[in-house]
Structure 1
Amino acid sequence: MKLLLIMLSALIVLSACSSSSTGRKQVMLFSDAELDKMGAASFEDMKKKTPISTDKATNDFVQCVAQAITKNVAKSVHKGDWEVVVFDSAQVNAFALPSGKIGVYTGILNVTENQDQLGAIIGHEVGHVIEHHSNERLSANKLQNMGMVAATAAIGLADVENKGLWMAGLGLGLQYGVIMPYSRAHESEADIVGQDLMARSGFEPSASIKLWQNMAKLSQDAPAEFMSTHPSNKTRIEQLTEHLPSSMAFYKAGNRPNCQKPKVIPSPKA
């Protein structure tokens, strides 16, 4: 199993054909056109299945922050207008997809205290798009499947006892040894890229630190970092604090948007 993990890791390294803005090697097996098509289709499906907020004040607030962020995103990332939808859901979440799609759940607006903290959220999510993380995750899954197929064939030909347990162990090794750390690297990178982006957009970058302090209060029972696809709140706070001086170099207080958060965010409809 160890040998197969080494072989799969070597395959990922050999497949890396580009680097992210932070210098991290990337594996991307899909074209931008393919990712845009998948992103647009996923977004349309979500709009059909999840209620959309019709509250004007809530939508105005989210649109104001999103527009301030996206106007500072390079056209090479997305050439047209960004579509921003507020989903009427208690989920504490938001996302951005290739093809210029942003979704914000009303639940997360009860955690973000002001425009700066929402700027941190949207900046982080757009950071995933800027750094092509969807492409990397799909590529990693494809390589994982290829590795599992090869391992299954090898075990089928070998004289190995308890083959079922061996395969289950290999699956866990791939999940926790390769795939999960890969996702944690994406999250940390999006934090840093997002902090710089929010600062360029006129949002106070230190708000990203306060945001994750708020998040930490909501996730006291979060799994250990080793078992999670996301860095721990403590790790994120430390990394953002360390990077703050760099982000502050992009921040111009006179360029601040004026996005007013509603005093009351309507509860999601039952």
Structure 2
Amino acid sequence: MRKALVALITFILITACATSPTGRKQLILFPESQMAEMGSAAFASMKKSQTIDTNRRHNQYVNCIVNSMIPELNKMAPDMRTTRWETKVFVDDSPNAFALPGGKIGVHTGMFKVADNPSQLAAVIGHEIGHVWARHGNARVSNQYVSSAGLQLASVLAGEPTTEKQQLLNLLGVGTQLGGLAFSREDESEADEIGLELMARAGFDPAESVELWRNMSKMGGSKPPELLSTHPANETRIRDLKSKMVEAQKIYQQARAQGKKPSCHL
């Protein structure tokens, strides 16, 4: 029996091995249709439990940025062309944003205090979209499924808030501050790389991604050493972004030459 179980797990791990947009190996157990259902259910729950911002300027601003980036994402990721994206701004002072499988994007009003201009907010949103394209939520849920012999995913999203429900939301990428504990350092770095290219292709200045993380650093607060954290320290993030800046600037200049000059204003 034990040998059969080991053999089954080994088979699952081998057959479920997938490759991310940057070439990383991932364990992907769930079809994207199922992940989209989970993402949509989580987003519907959040729209009921959290305050949606009705400020027209805020919503136009965020949607302008998202609508500028999605066509570029469709070019980079043709398999996502059928995704119908939905964006909501939530009244929340925490500097947070997220994107869920199924094309759901949430931005907290607190991000407006950290992202000083459209390019900085584009860096945030591009990063979060990067998590979805790279299927980081699927990989997290898949690994949790294997390690815990299965989450009761359907029941977790129903009913009152529970520890299990919050766990699943964290696995999908909701509920933590931008760059927080929902994803691994490798996931965060990959999302940074994808987001940098995506924002540049859309005509947003990639150099502002560095300024965004400088702003995050100024927020202060108690931060654990990088080795004890599951995400890169802001200094490491800035260094990694700078190392990719030459190529990102080339993409950005080409986009601007093609007339991609998003006019998004708060």
TM-score greater than 0.5 by the shorter chain: yes
Shift of 1:82: 1.0
Structure 1: segments with no counterpart, 5+ residues: 1-9, 148-179, 262-270
Offset at residue 15 of structure 1 (A):
5.8
Distance 1:197 1:36 in 2: 21
SS of 1:104's partner is: strand
Structure 2 residues not aligned, in runs of 5+: 1-9, 151-180
Q: Distance in 2 between matches of 1:214 and 1:181?
A: 21
| SS across alignment from 1:79 | coil
Whether contact under 8 Å (1:116, 1:205) holds in the other structure is yes
2:219 paired residue number: 218
Pairwise mapping of residues 1-270 of structure 1 onto structure 2 (< 5 A)? 14=14, 17-74=17-74, 75-146=78-149, 183-251=184-252, 252-253=255-256, 254-261=259-266
Q: Which runs of 4+ in 1 moved over 3 A?
A: 10-16
Q: Distance in 2 between matches of 1:22 and 1:104?
A: 26
Give the residue type in structure 2 aligned to 1:258: S
Query: Is the partner of 1:65 in helix, strand or coil?
Result: helix
Output the amino acid matched with 2:135. H
SS in 2 for 1:26: strand
* CA offsets 1:132-168 (integer angstroms, 9 cap, x no match): 1110010111222249xxxxxxxxxxxxxxxxxxxxx
**In the alignment, is the contact (CA less than 8 A) between 2:183 and 2:231 conserved in 1?**
no
State how far apart, in whole Å, the 1-side matches of 2:217 and 2:194 are.
21
Q: Is the 8 A contact 1:137 1:183 kept in 2?
A: no
Q: Quick check: 1:81–1:100 contact (8 Å CA) kept in 2?
A: yes
Closer, same or farther: CA 144–226 of 1 in aligned 2, 3 Å: farther
1:227 partner amino acid: L
In structure 2, how many angstroms separate the alpha carbons of the residues matched to 1:11 and 1:231? 33
In the TM superposition, residue 198 of structure 1 has moved relative to its aligned partner by 0.3
Q: Distance in 1 between matches of 2:215 and 2:113?
A: 10
Normalised to the residue count of structure 2, the TM-score between the two structures is: 0.78
Segment drifting more, 66-75 vs 138-147:
138-147
Query: Contact between 2:119 and 2:205, CA under 8 Å: does it hold in 1?
Result: yes
- Say if 1:12 and 1:143, in contact at 8 Å, map to a contact too: no
State the alpha-carbon separation in 2 of the partners of residues 226 and 98 from structure 1: 29
- Partner deviation per Cα, 1:118-137 (whole Å, 9 max, x = no partner): 10000000000110111001
Letter of the structure 1 residue corresponding to residue 261 of structure 2? R
CA–CA separation in structure 1 for the residues paired with 2:222 and 2:247: 32
Deviation at 1:19, TM superposition (A): 1.1
Partner amino acid, structure 2, of 1:28? I
What TM-score results when the alignment is normalised by the length of structure 1? 0.76
**How far did residue 52 of structure 1 move?**
0.5
Q: Judge conservation of contact 1:78–1:99 (CA < 8 Å) in 2.
A: no
- Higher relative contact order structure (alpha carbons within 8 Å, sequence separation ≥ 6): 1
Q: How far does residue 91 in structure 1 lie from its aligned partner after superposition?
A: 1.4
How many Å apart are 1:226 and its aligned residue? 2.0
- Aligned residue pair count: 220
Q: Supply the AA of the counterpart residue of 2:20.
A: S
Counterpart CA distance in 1 for 2:182 and 2:106 is: 25
Q: Which moved more, 1:226-235 or 1:71-80?
A: 71-80
Distance 1:91 1:182 in 2: 18
CA contact (8 A) 2:136 2:183 kept: no
Taking the aligned partners of 2:131 and 2:222, their CA distance within structure 1 comes to 26
